[in-house]
A and B are shown apart, each in its own frame.
Chain A
């Protein structure tokens, strides 16, 4: 710095500024993950393709459609933060749909028409209970028997799908009370669609659980370092079990809303949701290594996936190609997560 000529000064300022920008981007990447980058890229790319994309109408639509994925992603996040994941969320949805529809149809034959509400409530409870069984089996396998979450939930996914198909013979369960769809599928409270309201309540609850309850802290601790958690007196078995049970329950709520929307019990409602929910979480910065995940970001992550699908639809990208893109995006996000985790925890 002994030659303070103007040219040298200019030369050093420019890189310094870009360094500051890089450092800023790095900080965002470490804090939040890849989501902001993906979101900006998507918004720019599709708004170039079509003017409708950024229209308020379209964005509210995306928000409404993303409710189901957000609910499932919240559950998926719980499993991911413990250091595992749940591939059977689709099955939980299918089983919820089939069981709740069957229960409603059966009960409405048995009970008088003026007990319609009881039919709907009991039907919902039956659906939730079915999913809870799925979640408990997952939890039992992972927490008590130490089966790897991959194998456990993959197996249960097949079991649940098989049961749902067996119960229905593969035919949609029709005859669900009209009011069920009217309220949970299309109803509004204070002019807010009921599904959106449900998602808001669920997100707020999970936020509270993760940030302000013992359970939430223990879920994070188990995923961050299970041994340390155990040495600190955390009942890791119980925590893991609850995480998987809650994951299935949240998927089940999504299943009820979807059933209400389509008006019948369907076995194929949760087809690709396992992949989508994991993608939503990982893109939202939930680490596959466990211990890291923020509810706000996951909500945005679910929104992002649906936004992307919406954009691809507008851009007239075929559904086959969409599968290719979504899968690639997930893998890319995981690679970047690997990188981020090393920066965060790895070397000191």
Chain B
């Protein structure tokens, strides 16, 4: 252990990872010192999550080496990594909803007394830890009864419990209020001061600049640079992240001056939305921003008949469509792009063409008078759509599961061009896609809006939703906290409303 004093706490060298059809990481280096807060910065799909998944034992790298305090390690499971002192708070919640909080904390490392678990010791340990962390949660409650922020706090506590030498936090503030975030930062400060190395993944620049020592920027699976946090401006960071000047990424979308109202939601209530009203206009991009759980997505899911509507009225082109079935709305000229392409958007085992074809089957010229599909007509149309959204011809006949995330998202977009629609609702339109695809998709959104259609963009990616929208609705706690328009849409303004009415909910 002599060498361990000099060697960096974590040293990842030449890390590459290939998934079938995708190269997620190529030759990434990362060094984290004791007591350092090291931020990983990059877009969705840049490889941040893959990189920390490798460090925390979820995936094994295709090539490359990991050294912890100078010793080369090879993790076969999360358990292995945890034993080596790596504690991870994953972005996806890893709590068992049916178990109480304290059992979740000790899951996989139960305290034992002989052959039996020591319930009392675990209970006491959990309470002590929560008191230390200043988290106010009853540890006997089942995890399912906690709010998202509370669940996040339990996840963090879980990582602290293992006395980790390295603490990995993957977008930890995504669902926290400002106050909770402050509290988290004070722990991070304390933990770093005690010599723990912290890897912090985020794309909220303002936030991490308060705590970061160094920032590593990833783009398309490559390490672009590692820079000291204090001397690097926001603008430089964004340009490193996107690889382009900011104004090149987002197209200027012309706004139709007085587009007619196409769709309205009035006083809509559903689980997670407590009364919200809005209008969608032709030729305009309406943005919906907000934290996870703010209701920005659920209001549209309810309007589309994807989750039960408690009350409210929905009109489409002047007609009342409250409570209409999803299918009826789709036939009536609404396109809805779900946020999760794998579970809701695509038939993963079918080809790209097969997926797009599904949206054509109701067309009279494809289905024919007797309902038999005309293969040649369908092929011509799907090819045209593939060209429009930019899917290469050979990719059209491959299973969607074998395509890259970017191409999958293009297929999903393609399903919107089978028929003429009036309203396009995009829920997280560019989640997990590379920069090139992103710009292509933005161009499609621009074309749709400028053709006079109504476009709704729901996104957790703040720059995206801010730059695309003509009018931006900020959701907080199931309500619309603000409506911003044109030049009033700036980051400070939007973030201010993110936490509206959230006093002391933890």
Contact = CB atoms under 8 A, between A and B. Distances in A.
Interface of A: 208, 212-214, 217-218, 220-221, 223-225, 227-234, 287, 290-292, 344-345, 347-348
30 contacts: A208-B116, A212-B119, A214-B112, A217-B99, A217-B107, A218-B108, A220-B99, A221-B96, A221-B99, A224-B98, A225-B94, A228-B107, A229-B96, A231-B58, A231-B88, A231-B90, A231-B94, A232-B78, A232-B94, A232-B107, A232-B108, A233-B77, A291-B97, A344-B98, A344-B144, A345-B98, A348-B144, A348-B145, A348-B146, A348-B147
A224 B107 CA distance: 12
Nearest to A289: B98
B52 to A, nearest CB: 12
Kindly name the residue among B58, B107, B117 whose own CB sees the greatest number of chain A CB atoms within 10 A.
Answer: B107
Interface in B85-102: 88, 90, 92-99
Contacts of A234: 107-108
B117 A224 contact: no
B94 A217 contact: no
Nearest to B158: A232
A161 to B, nearest CB: 34
A238 to B, nearest CB: 12
Interface in B102-146: 103-104, 107-110, 112, 115-117, 119, 142, 144-146
Contacts of A223: 98
B170 to A, nearest CB: 12
Interface of B: 58, 77-79, 82, 88, 90, 92-99, 103-104, 107-110, 112, 115-117, 119, 142, 144-148, 158, 271-272
B259 to A, nearest CB: 35
B112 A224 contact: no
Kindly name the residue among A212, A217, A218, A291 whose own CB sees the greatest number of chain B CB atoms within 10 A.
Answer: A217
Q: Which 10 A-B pairs have the closest CB atoms?
A: A233-B79, A233-B108, A291-B98, A224-B96, A224-B98, A232-B108, A228-B94, A231-B94, A232-B107, A347-B271
Contacts of A212: 116-117, 119
B117 A213 contact: yes
A279 to B, nearest CB: 21
A227 B95 CA distance: 9
Nearest to B106: A217
Given A214-B112, A231-B58, A233-B78, A221 B144 contact: no
A234 B95 CA distance: 12
Contacts of A213: 115-117
A221 B106 CA distance: 11
Kindly name the residue among A214, A221, A232, A292 whose own CB sees the greatest number of chain B CB atoms within 10 A.
Answer: A232
A223 B92 CA distance: 17
Given A232-B94, A232-B158, A287-B98, 11 more contacts: A212-B117, A213-B116, A217-B99, A220-B96, A221-B96, A225-B94, A227-B94, A228-B95, A231-B88, A232-B78, A232-B104
Contacts of B104: 232
Contacts of B103: 217
Kindly name the residue among B96, B107, B109, B144 whose own CB sees the greatest number of chain A CB atoms within 10 A.
Answer: B96
Contacts of A220: 96, 98-99
Contact of A231 (B78, B97, B146, B147): B78
A3 to B, nearest CB: 28
Contacts of B96: 220-221, 224-225, 228-229, 291
Contacts of B58: 231
Kindly name the residue among A234, A347, A348 whose own CB sees the greatest number of chain B CB atoms within 10 A.
Answer: A348
A287 B94 CA distance: 20
Kindly name the residue among A224, A229, A347 whose own CB sees the greatest number of chain B CB atoms within 10 A.
Answer: A224
B110 A347 contact: no
A176 to B, nearest CB: 36
Contacts of A217: 99, 103, 107, 110, 117
A233 B109 contact: yes
A234 B94 CA distance: 12
Contacts of A344: 98, 142, 144
A214 B146 CA distance: 24
A287 to B, nearest CB: 8
Kindly name the residue among A221, A225, A345 whose own CB sees the greatest number of chain B CB atoms within 10 A.
Answer: A225
A345 B97 contact: yes
A291 B82 CA distance: 25
Nearest to B151: A348
Contacts of A291: 96-99
Nearest to B150: A348
A180 to B, nearest CB: 32
Contacts of B109: 233
B272 A347 contact: yes
B94 to A, nearest CB: 4
Nearest to A290: B98
A104 B334 CA distance: 72
A231 B91 CA distance: 12
Contacts of A287: 98
A319 to B, nearest CB: 37
B417 to A, nearest CB: 34
A233 B92 CA distance: 16
Nearest to A348: B147
A223 B103 CA distance: 14
Contacts of B108: 218, 229, 232-234
A27 to B, nearest CB: 13
Given A213-B115, A213-B117, A344-B144, A225 B97 contact: yes
A177 B92 CA distance: 59
Given A214-B117, A345-B144, A347-B272, A233 B82 contact: yes
B77 A224 contact: no
Given A214-B117, A217-B107, A347-B271, A230 B78 contact: yes
Contacts of B88: 231
A217 B117 CA distance: 9
A228 B117 contact: no
Contacts of B93: 228
A225 B78 CA distance: 16
A32 B184 CA distance: 37
A225 B142 CA distance: 13
B69 to A, nearest CB: 21
Nearest to B95: A228
B492 to A, nearest CB: 30
A213 B116 CA distance: 5
Contacts of B82: 233
Contact of A229 (B107, B145, B158, B272): B107
